A and B are shown apart, each in its own frame.
Chain A
């Protein structure tokens, strides 16, 4: 058995020990995970962003235009120094402005217009009617400018049923997802570590 399998088994059991109660072994494994994750992401950021997008273009290829975004990046780090925090607002303003400009039309097109179109095109079928009822009644439930009484209250009530079905389906999928993670660890423990299964 190789050393990697032994380390992975030890850390898996450390994490599982939390199911009994919190303990130093769990804390150790948890802190190790956080530390390694942060270190990995930092190295990736340096290797895939800082070096190819700033250091190499400026110092190796002499493309001085890259200094401007570099300065804006340094401004972001000045948030840690109260006297110069105001400079970071310039970078944040640029990010928010450009980000919103790119995101708003794309989101409206992809999530509003396309979804509205999809909920209308199949209106003649049973599925289409159910989708329409689901949208209309759920929207009615979240409309608070009219009291939920009478026919409007009944529609809003129907909206809560659709919401409950959605929550139930999501919870079911969540259980499946979490069990899958347990299956992955069990396959490792019973297979790679104990060699009971192939």
Chain B
């Protein structure tokens, strides 16, 4: 019988050891991640993209590698990037990540990228931007009027945006589909935590999303396509080894359960339970 504490130690070791000793397990790129990459790769230099940081701080280890890989691709392609946050905690995190990644590529604020800040009530913000972005965000995060930002001069609403990506840890991508995609028909993709990924697959098959990045693995796949290793690929060995350990623990638990049920019929709760 494995105690809880022993399982925790096993999981901790299965994560820590591969981080220290590189194994280099293979990682295949999935179609949904490739579709996001291709959607950005096909855009001409100067095209406008919108990235929304729709997440909280608690999911940072998953969303940061994905957001970073996508932002790197955007700046590498010299796209104009409009960013915003529809969750309060995503604001400071998104702004910091945007600034760091923009500095890597010497992108200039106001010309190559802009951060609009946070708006509550995601539904009304998404609907409002479909009519006019300036109505929802009259000023950017630094309280500069959008009229004074060169990049925003020719951008009115989703018509000028070639692709929207929601970096999310909840179901806000569904809100984007409900209110932006179904009404204004922009191209839309999401980079979401793995726990939410299965919820969005129906939107992939219906074409309401062009692609999807699911958690750390999604980030690692994107980094492979980008040929720029980052936080995603660094964690994938640990991910694979810890999954193997969990599978072995589940198998071990089942083997012990069936052996006990076979050998001990008297002591089992099922046999001692009295019928009502």
Contact between A44 and B118, CB atoms less than 8 A apart: yes
Within 105-122 of B, Cβ neighbours of A (below 8 Å) are at 117-120
Alpha-carbon distance between A19 and B5 when the two chains are bound, in angstroms = 7
Contacts of A110 in B (CB 8 A): 174, 177-178, 181-182, 208
Given known pairs A20-B5, A37-B89, A110-B177, the reply for A184 and B206 (CB within 8 Å) is no
| A40 to B: closest C-beta gap in Å | 7
Contacts of A173 in B (CB 8 A): 194-198, 214-215
Alpha-carbon distance between A131 and B20 when the two chains are bound, in angstroms = 43
Alpha-carbon distance between A64 and B136 when the two chains are bound, in angstroms = 19
Contact between B215 and A106, CB atoms less than 8 A apart: no
Q: Which residue, of A49, A111, A196, has the highest number of chain B Cβ atoms within 10 A? A: A111
| A97 to B: closest C-beta gap in Å | 14
Quick check: is A177 within 8 A (CB to CB) of the other chain? yes
Contacts of B123 in A (CB 8 A): 99, 102-103
Quick check: is A73 within 8 A (CB to CB) of the other chain? no
Contact between B178 and A106, CB atoms less than 8 A apart: yes
Contacts of A45 in B (CB 8 A): 88, 120
Contact between A177 and B118, CB atoms less than 8 A apart: no
Contacts of B182 in A (CB 8 A): 106, 109-110, 114
Alpha-carbon distance between A179 and B5 when the two chains are bound, in angstroms = 16
Contact between A174 and B194, CB atoms less than 8 A apart: yes
Contact between A170 and B198, CB atoms less than 8 A apart: yes
Q: Residue on A with the closest CB to B59?
A: A181
Contact between A103 and B178, CB atoms less than 8 A apart: yes
Alpha-carbon distance between A20 and B62 when the two chains are bound, in angstroms = 25
| B243 to A: closest C-beta gap in Å | 7
Within 99-146 of A, Cβ neighbours of B (below 8 Å) are at 99, 102-103, 106-107, 109-111, 114-115, 117-118, 131
Contact between B202 and A102, CB atoms less than 8 A apart: no
Contacts of A48 in B (CB 8 A): 117-120
Contact between A131 and B205, CB atoms less than 8 A apart: yes
Q: Residue on B with the closest CB to A113?
A: B182
| B72 to A: closest C-beta gap in Å | 19
Q: Which of A78-86, A148-156, A185-193 contacts B (4 or more CB under 8 A)?
A: A185-193
Within 191-219 of B, Cβ neighbours of A (below 8 Å) are at 193-198, 202, 205-208, 214-217
| A94 to B: closest C-beta gap in Å | 13
Contact between B61 and A183, CB atoms less than 8 A apart: yes
Q: Residue on B with the closest CB to A178?
A: B195
Given known pairs A173-B194, A187-B231, A197-B20, the reply for A179 and B88 (CB within 8 Å) is no
Q: Which residues of A are interface residues toward B (Cβ below 8 A)? A: 19-20, 37, 40-41, 44-45, 48-49, 52, 99, 102-103, 106-107, 109-111, 114-115, 117-118, 131, 166, 169-170, 173-187, 190, 196-197
Further pairs besides A110-B181, A176-B195, A183-B15: 4, Cβ < 8 Å: A48-B120, A175-B243, A176-B243, A187-B235
Q: List 11 A-B contacts (CB under 8 A).
A: A40-B89, A103-B178, A106-B183, A110-B182, A180-B61, A180-B193, A181-B62, A183-B19, A184-B235, A187-B19, A190-B16
